[in-house]
Amino acid sequence: MAVKSPFGKIALIVEDETDTAEMLAEMVRLCGYEARHAYSAQPVMDLLYQKKPILILLDIILPDTNGIELLRAIRSEKQFDTLPVILISGNCQPSDIEKGLLSGASAYLTKPVAFWELKETIEKLLQRQVSSL
């Protein structure tokens, strides 16, 4: 069941691999949220202001920038400094995970992502966000 939030029900998926983006979108829908896609970093800031997503699933390797750099840009905007951002990457070394979390990620999941792991992470982050309001 989706966590109720004052921020809406849209999850923004930033992933350049179409199959992975579709898989993540289906997982998000099964969790009770609407999925929106960005296949590169370029449209993300506009989408954040237009769609006001409840969370972001962000790949680290994108065609036009590094996901860590995009995460830093998102966090630099006051409006989005507490927006849950889940980094998703094939980079699974402890140093990669630490770098992602220190850069402002709310969580870091490694590919391939299991449905139960994504669902649990989303619910935990959104519950924490609603509780802090």
**Domain boundaries in the chain?**
11-116
- Is the pLDDT at 2 greater than 70? The verdict is no
User: 26-85, pLDDT tens digit by residue?
Assistant: 999 999 999 999 999 999 999 999 999 999 999 999 999 999 999 999 999 999 999 999
Distance in angstroms between the alpha carbons of the first and the last residue of the chain: 20
Name the H helices within the chain: 18-30, 44-51, 67-76, 94-102, 115-131
- pTM score, two decimals? 0.92
Average pLDDT, the chain: 92
Q: Give CA–CA dist 81/100, Å, rounded.
A: 15
Q: Amino acid identity, residue 33?
A: Y
Q: Give CA–CA dist 40/124, Å, rounded.
A: 27
Query: Burial level of 79, CB count in 10 A (0-12/13-18/19+)?
Result: exposed
Supply the pLDDT for residue 29.
96
Q: Which fold has domain 11-116?
A: Rossmann fold (3.40.50)
Supply the pLDDT for residue 129.
79
